[in-house]
Structure 1
Amino acid sequence: MYSLQRDVFFDVNLEDLLISADKVAHVQVGNTLEHALLVLVKSGYTAVPVLDSAFKLHGLISKNIILDSLLGVERIETEKLAEYNVEEVMDTNIPQVTLNHTFIKVLGMSINHPFICVVDEEGAFEGIITRRVILKLVIRHLNQE
């Protein structure tokens, strides 16, 4: 049976888990849904952060959000891809933390989110912490026991 020492995770430095902003696929608030869908499909991700020109985090856009916005009463209205901007349909309920938060907080948030956005005190996007990185850390600690 595996066991974890709870205090092992209090010393985790979130910066060590961070995938920096310059390596994270994202879109801008003014981009069209067509552009966002291209980024999502080309990157292979189901969701990406939405940033403004100052790199402030505003929301998340996903394939599901885009597809939901295209559904009409009788057909998929693909013309909306070029008509709507990301900011009109993005999800503004963003799982986010600062580097001052605890690993335990991030671990709990990862139950419902594949990645957690990291912002600085002014809301500028610093990067993401993925569920994959979190689970790799937990497994590493389990294997040390």
Structure 2
Amino acid sequence: MFIKPVEDMLMRNADHYLIPADIVANVQTDNNLYHAFLVLTKVKYSKIPVLDNDGHFEGLVSLPLITEQMLSDDQLNVDILMQKRVCDVMEHDVRTVEQVSDIEATLHLMIDNPFVPVVDHEGYFKGIVTRREFMKSFNFLTHEIGKQYDMIEKDFSNSEKAK
């Protein structure tokens, strides 16, 4: 749990955390891998969301997942890109958050992921929260917290050493 001053300062920028679904590059489950490969290459991301035809979040697809399909018997088989669908190779068990304001849960997920999908209670994809946006807020926090809150420096030099 965050201390109140940290939570308050991080929440000040919460409006900027969400990159809305309508501007996030994505593919659909029934797209072929060739299409997904082109989208990933054009947007220069290594991983993007996968949606169904109704806008529900289904998972993620990445360049490594696609290129792994192309490798067979020491050759590169590009024909497979037209034959297989995104749903055949995508990550299905992806952790998401429902609210951008769930900062602590989002932060924990960002330790291992450059972005976290935001999905409502009905499974509709709302957008992503990126590590970059969080880092901008942490930068603000580290520079401003002492100006906006009275901070008391504690002397730990005589405290008990870590056990």
Fold shared per TM-score above 0.5: yes
Question: Which digits, 9 at most, give the CA deviation of each residue in 1:29-49, with x for residues without a partner?
Answer: 000000000000101111100
* Greater RCO (CA < 8 Å, at least 6 residues apart): 1
CA RMSD of aligned residues (A): 1.6
Distance across 1 between alignment mates of 2:4 and 2:64: 38
Aligned partner of 1:19 in structure 2 is: 19
- The runs of 5 or more residues in structure 2 that have no matched partner are 147-163
Q: CA deviation at 1:10?
A: 3.1
Of all paired residues, the percent bearing the same amino acid is 34
Q: TM-score, normalised by structure 1?
A: 0.90
Aligned partner of 1:114 in structure 2 is: 114
The answer to whether structure 1 residue 83 and structure 2 residue 83 are counterparts is yes
Which has the larger Rg?
A: 2
Counting only pairs closer than 5 Å after superposition, residues 64-75 of structure 1 correspond to structure 2 as 64-75=64-75
Distance across 1 between alignment mates of 2:67 and 2:49: 17
The answer to whether structure 1 residue 46 and structure 2 residue 32 are counterparts is no
Q: 1:23 to 1:132 in 2, by over 3 A?
A: same
Q: TM-score, normalised by structure 2?
A: 0.81
Aligned partner of 1:141 in structure 2 is: 141
Aligned partner of 1:55 in structure 2 is: 55
Work out whether residues 47 and 63 of structure 1, in 8 Å CA contact, stay in contact via their aligned partners in 2.
yes
Work out whether residues 70 and 76 of structure 1, in 8 Å CA contact, stay in contact via their aligned partners in 2.
yes
> 4+ runs of 1 displaced by more than 6 Å?
none
Work out whether residues 18 and 129 of structure 2, in 8 Å CA contact, stay in contact via their aligned partners in 1.
yes
